Amino acid sequence: MINVKRVVVAVAVVGVALATAGLAAQAVKITDPTYAAIVVIRDSNEIGFLDIRTNKLIGSVFLGNNANPHMAAYSPDGRYVVTGGTRANKAYIIDVPTMTLAKAIPVGVGPEHLAFSPDGRYYYQGNPSSDSISVIDMVSLTEIKRISGLPEVLNITFLPDGSKAYAGTYGAHSVTVIDARRHEVLKKIQVGEVPAVSKLDPDRYLSEIKGVSNASISNDGRYLYAADGDLGVVGVIDTREDKLIKTIKVGKDPWRAYMSHDGKYAVTVNNGDETLSVIDTRTNRVAATLEGGPDMLGVNFAAGKMFAISTTSSFVYAYDMRTLRPAGRIKIGANIQIETATTDTADEKMYLAASTNHSIYVIDGRTLAVQQIPNVGLNPWGTHIMHSKDNYCH
Amino acid sequence: MTCRSSNTRRNPLACLVVSFGLTFWCVAVAAAQTPTAPGQMPMADHRGGVSGTVRSAGGIAVAGATVTATNAETSAQFTATTDAQGAYAFAALPMGKYNFTIESSGLTAHTRSEIDIAADRTPVIAITMYAAADGQAAASDPQALLAQIKTLEQRLRELEARAASSEASGVNALSTSAASQQQAGLQAPTDRLAALEDRLNELETRAVLSETTTYVKRVDVWVDANGTEYDQPVPGARQEVTYRREAVYRRESIGEKIEEALADAEKRGVQLGIDATSVTQFASRTKGDPDAVSGNAYALASADLFFTAGLAQYTVFFADVVALSGAPPDIEIPGLTLLNGYTARLVNQNELNLREVWLRTELFKQKLALVAGRLDLTNYFDNNAAANDETIQFLGDGLVNNPALGLATNGTGFAAVFDPKIGLNLKFGVQQSNVSATNLSDSIYSLAEAGYLMTIPSLGEGNYRVWYRTTNTGNLNNQAFGLSFDQKVGPVATLFARFGDGDLPVIEEGQTSFSLGQRFYSGGVKFQNGLVLNRWDSWGIGYAQTEVPDTGEKEKMTEGFYNLQLTDRLHLSFHLQHVLRSASGTESLGYLVPGVRLQAAF
């Protein structure tokens, strides 16, 4: 005869166990954010998470129709992922463990690039279409201030001590220094003078401006390297005095400088003449000018090499950083556009977003082998790995 | 829950376990339906949700407000309370239309009607509540407020009509009409204001994206014997490539769409370029026969028209038509090398001459480039970075080219360049060097080159080349070889040098003016990125010595230039050459040749 009492008790115990497991599984989806690479899936309006141990998608968070995220980043503690929805004029805060959308915050127009303060208290969202930076307080998850007067602000770089931030303004030939405690503009540092002969060609200088997209910081935080597209120079700024100490001539139309992981070199991609200028940061002189490809918008460092991403040619150009010589190029595919990549914290593999075929490509820096992760979503625009030294956007 | 079983009445502990377990199970299931805290919305199930914030008119978060969602069909009610940041969330509402009511002490109740909850989507709705006093103030001047609302509604109707007329989908147009009708039924000003806000949000979503952005994508499909197409591999189906249009949910501004269309049109069309150059020189004899010409001025104008078009994957068509006019110094002052490198292009005055026309394609992951057609082989070989371009660098041919190459004129030919981008490249070319040749075996000029890139620490990169040439002009086989390098010495200066040695090709009828030399040396330095007047300027000094031991002729040429970049397309350069020519048994003849070159390129 069945003991009803025992059956009921057993069911109850099993119910407790299953309910607990179910709750736990539902609540926490990412336990270790260092293994979850962010994938900005622009045209699906999602932020995806890719497990870099298995190269499989964990899942994604939908932001809303027509959000079109541009760049995303982990908060320093890995609790949140933030992104700007360029077409929604909103900043989105994602709770990482549960992979849920925690907050959508109205910001300025056309938010693109962003940066966290080193302590993670604030996140600066650049709004290039409204020439402003939205200061988001990560405690209240609200915009507490909007810093204006920054012509087409793109990238923002904080000092390691969090006292100041430097905004690259593509609509001007200067870098703006921001007091990161009071969130106020301190000064603007001119990167280079417009040549006097520009008066002979007013149409060229009045039609479109390619200024400073980014100020890249040296490993010790002492210097910034700010490339100016129109002027073809890199300005070296001393962050202690906020003063331009040197102007280095590079190739034509440099996009920005990328710092090698060992701090020895600052590399600019010069899209005007399809070259790369390798600047020795000890002497602040160009150590080598290397042949590249068209429309280079990203540089990564892995396995002792440098990799320049030529977005429209589908090539990733490789260079030996020891000899400063070319080391071949990797053809990702035919008729596909590649975007930007992040490098894992072991400096071995890169995760490259390929927008037109909806894939992520994993490139082994040592062997140059390429593995495709297809169907991650519509038009992946970029990737981000927590604590990677190559987290950037174009 | 109570324990009614006779067994559990006798065992209170069992009753407690059962009660707890079942209760816990129910709580867990319920927790899956509602969020544990505002803002945490599980996305795994297929219900819909909504979240947002409630703020006062001053932008301050309203905590503790009660948000009630009532299903318009079933009247089922769900409630949430705003947190300290004014945030609320409904994680898993059954799909359908909902009316929302937001209430908070001291604030006028707010309603939102007909909000669509769809599967797996969580729209964000921000709500603004007004103080009860504000409501009373509105009531005291209701006519002004109503008039303002009416004006806004009218303007919005006009905008919606414009947006609806440009939309491809009729569904969107219908929803606009529904929103307007809904608004017409509302009476309270706050409701009408809220509805206006909703319609503006909707319009903003649609206004910029006038049509869905689409693009054509190359996809792999699998086709079986019946012709049925699959997107995934299927047993028995063969893989094929096809093209398909895809829609993406991206908003683009009108400016971006125009820019894309123009770039696309440019890529598909023929691109035209123009290069126009005028060189003026003056020759003053410094040594030799007093009866030799001296004190004359010379000028040569050149106009290059070139066309480029993409024909296929990695395949480009190029054509270059040139016309020259004028009197270069090389006609009155002949020598082993040309004082004006443009003279080599001169066939007949004031006549269009087809200089080059070729097809180029790239193979093997674009490591191998093949060019075929009417070529100028010197364009592919000995591309010295510091001394190779007569349009913006040295003018004298002795510093632009290597006379030992012995190439006379452009002709039908073929070139192959293998460049795997590892700092090593190999080149091979064959060209006919006489336009009057009667067959392809006649006057064949062959050239092979190996190049290597070296980066010397603290100096910079350097390119080193070695080449080998054979010709069969005049039915005589002639060979020559040469070396060339350009080495950066820091970021500002580049050293260059050339050497060539070999037999001189036989000059045949039909060959135009060109530089010749059996033994040749040149060297110099070029400066840019520093020691210049303007950022993009460059200047250089070079020396070239050409010898023809067979005839005892020797020429020594020195040249300095300064190239001023006035604009991206306009260059002005100043040159000073000195040439000293001698032949066995004759007195040396020397000339000082200052010159100016103006070059425009589009």
Q: How far is A43 from chain B (nearest CA, A)?
A: 5
Is a pLDDT exceeding 70 seen at residue B30?
Answer: no
The percentage of residues in chain A with a pLDDT greater than 70, rounded to a whole number, is 93
Beta bridge pairs of residue B448: B428, B468
Instruction: Mark which residues 363-382 of A lie under 8 Å from B by CB.
Output: 378-379
Nearest CA in chain A to B45: A26
Biggest CA pair distance of chain A: 104
Is A8–B14 a contact, with Cβ atoms under 8 angstroms apart? yes
Burial class of residue B231 (count of CB atoms within 10 Å of its CB; 0-12, 13-18, 19+): exposed
Residues on chain A touching B126 (C-beta within 8 angstroms): 106
DSSP string of A277-322? EEEETTTTEEEEEEE--SSEEEEEEETTEEEEEETTTTEEEEEETT
Residues on chain A touching B454 (C-beta within 8 angstroms): 325
Residue pair A159/A217 in contact (Cβ under 8 Å)? The answer is yes
Nearest CA in chain B to A284: B491
- Cα dist from B485 to B57, B255, B482, B542, whole Å: 74, 47, 10, 14
Given this model, what pLDDT does residue B188 score? 75
> Best of A96, A208, A249 to disrupt the B interface by mutation (most B CBs within 10 Å)?
A249
- Look at the block and give the residue holding tokens 């819909």: B48
Given this model, what pLDDT does residue B251 score? 65
Q: Which residues of A59-85 are buried (b: 16+ CB within 10 A; e: fewer)?
A: bbbbbbebbbbbbbbbbbebbbbbbbb
Q: Which residue among B21, B43, B218 places its CB closest to the CB of A16?
A: B21
Residues on chain B touching A331 (C-beta within 8 angstroms): 365-366
Most confident of A263-267, B169-173, B352-356: A263-267
The percentage of residues in chain B with a pLDDT greater than 90, rounded to a whole number, is 34
CA atoms of A178 and A258, how far apart (whole Å): 21
Burial class of residue B208 (count of CB atoms within 10 Å of its CB; 0-12, 13-18, 19+): middle
The torsion angles phi and psi of B318, rounded to 5 degrees, stand at: -140, 140
Is a pLDDT exceeding 50 seen at residue B171?
Answer: no
CA atoms of A290 and B460, how far apart (whole Å): 10
DSSP, res A234 = E
A28-32, A273-277, B141-145, B392-396: which has the minimum mean pLDDT?
Answer: B141-145
Instruction: Name the superfamily (CATH) of residues B362-601.
Output: Carbohydrate-selective porin OprB (2.40.160.180)
CA atoms of B391 and B341, how far apart (whole Å): 9
DSSP string of A107-140? -SSS---EEE-TTSSEEEEEEGGGTEEEEEETTT
CA atoms of A274 and A291, how far apart (whole Å): 6
How many helices (H) and strands (E) chain A has is answered by: 2, 32
Which helix (H) or strand (E) is B197 found in, with range?
A: helix B189-207
Q: How far is B469 from chain A (nearest CA, A)?
A: 27
Of the candidates B182, B175, B145, which has an alpha carbon nearest to the alpha carbon of residue B160? B175
Query: What ipTM was assigned to the predicted interfaces of this complex?
Result: 0.84
Give the pLDDT band (50/70/90) at residue B134: very low
Q: Which is it for strands A56-62 and A69-74: parallel, antiparallel or unpaired?
A: unpaired
- CA B39, B45, B47, B48 torsion: positive or negative? positive
CA atoms of A393 and A213, how far apart (whole Å): 11
Give the pLDDT band (50/70/90) at residue B163: low
Given this model, what pLDDT does residue A180 score? 97
Mean per-residue pLDDT for B534-544?
94
Token readout for A151 is 């012509």
Q: Which residue has the higher pLDDT, B124 or B534?
A: B534
CA atoms of A128 and B379, how far apart (whole Å): 44
Q: How far is A315 from chain B (nearest CA, A)?
A: 10
Q: How far is B526 from chain A (nearest CA, A)?
A: 16
Nearest CA in chain B to A42: B250
Given this model, what pLDDT does residue A359 score? 95
Of the candidates A309, A293, A303, A311, which has an alpha carbon nearest to the alpha carbon of residue A258? A309
Asked whether this chain's domains B34-131 and B362-601 adopt the same fold, the reply is no
A91-100, A104-113, A380-389, B434-443: which has the minimum mean pLDDT?
Answer: B434-443
Strand locations in B136-237 (E):
213-223, 229-230
Q: Which residue among B51, B248, B461 places its CB closest to the CB of A288?
A: B461
Q: How far is A329 from chain B (nearest CA, A)?
A: 7
CA atoms of B254 and B557, how far apart (whole Å): 59
A58-67, A250-259, B122-131, B328-337: which has the minimum mean pLDDT?
Answer: B122-131
Burial class of residue B448 (count of CB atoms within 10 Å of its CB; 0-12, 13-18, 19+): middle
Is a pLDDT exceeding 90 seen at residue B419?
Answer: yes
CA atoms of B202 and B157, how far apart (whole Å): 12
Mean per-residue pLDDT for B427-454?
85
Token readout for B433 is 């060097």
Is a pLDDT exceeding 80 seen at residue B88?
Answer: yes
Q: Which residue among B42, B61, B209 places its CB closest to the CB of A66?
A: B209
Q: Which is it for strands A349-354 and B493-502: parallel, antiparallel or unpaired?
A: unpaired
- Cα dist from B281 to A23, B33, B401, whole Å: 88, 89, 20
Instruction: Mark which residues 272-331 of A lie under 8 Å from B by CB.
Output: 285-291, 315, 317, 323-329, 331
- Look at the block and give the residue holding tokens 């990560």: A138
Residues on chain B touching A27 (C-beta within 8 angstroms): 36
Q: How many CB pairs under 8 A join A and B?
A: 174
Residues on chain A touching B120 (C-beta within 8 angstroms): 62
Beta bridge pairs of residue A169: A153
SS3 A201: coil
Q: Which residue among A26, A141, A285 places its CB closest to the CB of B490?
A: A285
Token readout for A360 is 């992520």
Q: Report the topology of domain B34-131.
A: Immunoglobulin-like (2.60.40)
Residue pair A65/B124 in contact (Cβ under 8 Å)? The answer is no
Residue pair A296/A311 in contact (Cβ under 8 Å)? The answer is yes
Residues on chain B touching A378 (C-beta within 8 angstroms): 246, 248-249
Instruction: Mark which residues 11-30 of A lie under 8 Å from B by CB.
Output: 11-13, 15-16, 18-20, 22-23, 26-27
Is B40–A100 a contact, with Cβ atoms under 8 angstroms apart? yes
Given this model, what pLDDT does residue B8 score? 40
Given this model, what pLDDT does residue B213 score? 67
Given this model, what pLDDT does residue B150 score? 79
Strand locations in B288-404 (E):
296-312, 315-327, 353-363, 368-375
pLDDT tens per residue, range B487-521: 999 889 999 999 999 887 766 665 554 567 689 99
Is A102–B39 a contact, with Cβ atoms under 8 angstroms apart? yes
Mean per-residue pLDDT for A221-247?
96
CA dihedral of residues B224, B225, B227, B231 (deg, nearest 10): 0
Burial class of residue B602 (count of CB atoms within 10 Å of its CB; 0-12, 13-18, 19+): exposed
Residues on chain B touching A58 (C-beta within 8 angstroms): none
Is A200–B570 a contact, with Cβ atoms under 8 angstroms apart? yes
Most confident of A14-18, A62-66, B367-371, B509-513: B367-371
Q: How far is B213 from chain A (nearest CA, A)?
A: 10
Q: Where are the domains of chain B?
A: 34-131, 141-207, 362-601
Given this model, what pLDDT does residue B334 score? 80
Is A4–B455 a contact, with Cβ atoms under 8 angstroms apart? no
Residue pair A279/A323 in contact (Cβ under 8 Å)? The answer is no
Is A19–B25 a contact, with Cβ atoms under 8 angstroms apart? yes
DSSP, res A219 = T
Token readout for A312 is 């429209």
Residue pair A368/A22 in contact (Cβ under 8 Å)? The answer is no
Instruction: Mark which residues 129-158 of A lie under 8 Å from B by CB.
Output: 140-142
Token readout for B330 is 């090389």
Give the pLDDT band (50/70/90) at residue B2: very low
Residue pair B514/B404 in contact (Cβ under 8 Å)? The answer is no
* A95 shares contact with chain B (CB less than 8 Å): yes
Given this model, what pLDDT does residue B244 score? 74
Given this model, what pLDDT does residue A327 score? 96
- Look at the block and give the residue holding tokens 């593995």: A371
Given this model, what pLDDT does residue B58 score? 55
- Look at the block and give the residue holding tokens 């599967």: B119
Q: Which residue has the higher pLDDT, B234 or B106?
A: B234
Is A43–B20 a contact, with Cβ atoms under 8 angstroms apart? no
Token readout for B507 is 């000059």
The percentage of residues in chain B with a pLDDT greater than 70, rounded to a whole number, is 77
CA atoms of A151 and B408, how far apart (whole Å): 56
pTM of the model: 0.76
Q: How far is A219 from chain B (nearest CA, A)?
A: 22
Q: Which residue has the higher pLDDT, A88 or A370?
A: A370
> Best of A68, A100, A207 to disrupt the B interface by mutation (most B CBs within 10 Å)?
A100
DSSP string of A367-382? T--EEEE--SSSSEEE
Q: Which residue among A8, A43, A104 places its CB closest to the CB of B18?
A: A8
Is B365–A331 a contact, with Cβ atoms under 8 angstroms apart? yes
SS3 A262: coil
Give the pLDDT band (50/70/90) at residue B184: low
Q: How far is A200 from chain B (nearest CA, A)?
A: 7
